[in-house]
């Protein structure tokens, strides 16, 4: 009944490989980040894949639902924002050997030219070597289940795969851990990362309340007797800017100045059914989340559209083209698979990169069909005739 390492039959039937030694006593000279895909439950029930990450140094977590595995603009933008927030210039990126996550991490590395990412993949089937990511998955997944259970209790119904609220639950769950879980050193991961505590007030995930649209957004400029506060469903605070995020009938909105409403009105199913907005499509034309989309192991992943090189753009233009502003992205909606649109829609005012050629062509068509866009186009044409760069 007892295992004996000298018995050939015991070793053949019960033997294990050499145990993995804890890394705590021999930490790497470089910060390590672990990444892994996962599903919240049974794959057929949840549909969409998720990704989680963990930083060994600060203990910070990342987590979000994705439209698909592999290479896509939102996944790249989210992970780039998380890594930039950590402030590392050189790091080790650990993952398993799944082709889709390796392709994604290579796109993230390409989008961070000032950060050296050293790729380390664990052998197939050896989950212990990717233990950092396994911890990230377990913790983020557990927090997401808590938030989902609370939201379903508050709305007195189960949240289906078509509910946009579910697409934000992992992202908020990771932020709740980062901002609220105190470690043995008396600090949260957020405190270790930025050097100060998180002090912004928050409400319950999925709670309906009134908010003041953030300055710079289209909704922040009320005219005449228009209301200055809007009603929305709270889905968290942005990781970098700290702006509160709300689902509204028009899509995702950023705001400040949260005003709570009476308890009996905070979880109105009828209003929730009108709200829309997904992490990768913040101003969708339809409310429902997409169905099962999965670029599985061994499948070819379509490449991301790449913006034209800086040198090529200057040779072609000779003059500066019209800017695509945040207000216009909020008004017309972002272009699918355009990294710059995704970052603008999420409120990122840092370096966003260039819009894709398909995106610029789409906006030029929208400007031509819109009266205000026609006026702006006329001013742009006058500027070009004067030879202004």
| Top mean-pLDDT range of 4-18, 269-283, 285-299 | 269-283
Sequence-separated (6 or more) residues with CB below 8 Å from residue 269: 155, 156, 157
**Which pLDDT belongs to residue 384?**
59
What's the pLDDT band for 367 if we cut at 50, 70, 90?
Answer: confident
pLDDT, residue 286, reads 54
CA trace torsion 76, 77, 79, 83 (10° rounding): 130
Residue 65 has pLDDT above 90, yes or no: yes
Looking at per-residue confidence, does 12 or 354 come out higher? 354
162-214, pLDDT tens digit by residue? 789 999 999 999 999 999 999 999 999 999 999 998 888 779 999 999 999 98
For the cut 70, the answer to whether the pLDDT of residue 306 exceeds it is: no
pLDDT at 303: 43
pTM: 0.70
The strand pairing partners of 35, in sequence order, are 53
338 token code pair: 């355009």
Q: Does the structure show a pLDDT above 90 at 60?
A: yes
Span 47-65, average pLDDT:
92
> Given its phi and psi angles, is residue 329 left (phi above 0), alpha (psi -120 to 50 degrees) or beta?
alpha
Q: What is the pLDDT of residue 114?
A: 93
Q: What is the mean pLDDT of residues 359-385?
A: 73
The alpha carbon dihedral of 266, 267, 271, 275 has a sign of: positive
pLDDT at 45: 47
Q: Is 168 within 8 Å of 279 (Cβ atoms)? A: yes
Percent of the chain as helix, strand, coil, to the nearest 5: 40, 15, 45
In DSSP terms, which residues pair with 237 in a beta bridge? 244
Average of per-residue pLDDT across 42-52: 71
Q: Pick the residue with more confidence: 126 or 92? A: 92
Q: Over range 305-316, report the average pLDDT.
A: 43
Confidence of residue 360 (pLDDT cuts 50, 70, 90): confident
* Residue the block writes with tokens 């930039």: 84
Question: Of 114 and 341, which is predicted with more confidence?
Answer: 114
Tokens of residue 260, six digits: 């709570």
DSSP string, 286-328: SSSPP------TT---PPPP-PPPHHHHHHHHSSPPPP--HHH
Lowest mean pLDDT among 147-151, 304-308, 346-350: 304-308
Task: Identify which of 102, 176, 116 has the alpha carbon closest to the alpha carbon of residue 145.
Answer: 176
CB-based burial, 346-363: b 16+ in 10 Å, e otherwise: bbbeeebebbbeebbebb
List, for residues 6-36, the tens digit of each pLDDT value: 777 666 665 665 554 445 444 568 999 999 9
pLDDT at 246: 95
Can you give the pLDDT at residue 214? 81
**Which among 311, 331, 318, 312 is positioned nearest to 372, based on CA atoms?**
331
**Can you give the pLDDT at residue 293?**
31
Q: What is the pLDDT of residue 59?
A: 94
Least confident of 171-175, 243-247, 269-273, 381-385: 381-385
To the nearest whole percent, how much of the chain has pLDDT over 70? Answer: 70
**Is the Cβ–Cβ distance between 37 and 100 less than 8 Å?**
yes
Q: Average of pLDDT values for 258-270?
A: 93
């Amino acid at each position: 009944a007892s295992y004996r390492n000298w018995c050939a039959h015991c070793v053949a039937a019960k033997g294990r490989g050499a145990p993995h030694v804890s890394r705590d006593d021999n930490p790497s000279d470089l910060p390590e980040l672990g990444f892994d895909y996962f599903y919240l439950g049974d794959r057929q029930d949840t549909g969409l894949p998720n990704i989680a990450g963990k930083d060994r140094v600060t203990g910070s977590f990342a987590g979000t639902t994705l439209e698909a595995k592999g290479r896509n603009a939102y996944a790249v933008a989210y992970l780039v924002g998380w890594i930039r927030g950590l402030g590392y210039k050189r790091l080790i990126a650990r993952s398993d050997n799944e082709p889709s996550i390796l392709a994604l991490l290579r796109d993230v590395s390409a989008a961070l030219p000032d950060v050296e990412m050293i790729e380390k993949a664990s052998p197939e089937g050896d989950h212990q070597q990717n233990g950092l990511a396994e911890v990230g998955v377990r913790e983020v997944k557990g927090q997401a289940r808590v938030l989902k259970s609370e939201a379903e209790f508050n709305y007195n119904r189960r949240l289906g795969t078509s509910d946009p609220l579910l697409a934000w639950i992992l992202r908020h769950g990771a932020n709740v851990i980062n901002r609220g879980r105190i470690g043995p050193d008396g600090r949260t991961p957020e405190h270790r990362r930025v050097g100060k505590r998180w002090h912004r007030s928050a409400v319950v995930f999925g709670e309906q309340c009134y908010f003041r649209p953030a300055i710079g957004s289209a909704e922040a400029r009320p005219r005449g007797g228009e209301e200055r506060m809007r009603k929305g469903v709270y889905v968290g605070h942005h990781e970098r800017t700290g702006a509160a995020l709300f689902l509204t009938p028009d899509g995702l909105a950023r705001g400040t100045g949260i005003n709570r409403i009476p308890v009996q009105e905070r979880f109105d199913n009828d209003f929730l059914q009108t709200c829309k907005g997904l992490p990768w499509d913040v101003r969708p034309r339809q409310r429902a989340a997409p169905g099962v989309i999965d670029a599985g192991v061994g499948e070819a992943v379509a490449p991301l559209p790449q913006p034209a090189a800086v040198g090529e753009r200057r040779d072609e233009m000779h003059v500066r083209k019209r800017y695509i502003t945040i207000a216009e992205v909020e008004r017309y909606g972002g272009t699918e698979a355009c990294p710059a649109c995704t970052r603008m829609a999420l409120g990122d005012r840092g370096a966003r990169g260039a819009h894709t050629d398909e995106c610029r062509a789409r906006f030029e068509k929208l400007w031509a069909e819109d009266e205000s866009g026609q006026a702006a186009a006329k001013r742009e044409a006058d500027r070009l005739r004067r030879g202004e760069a």
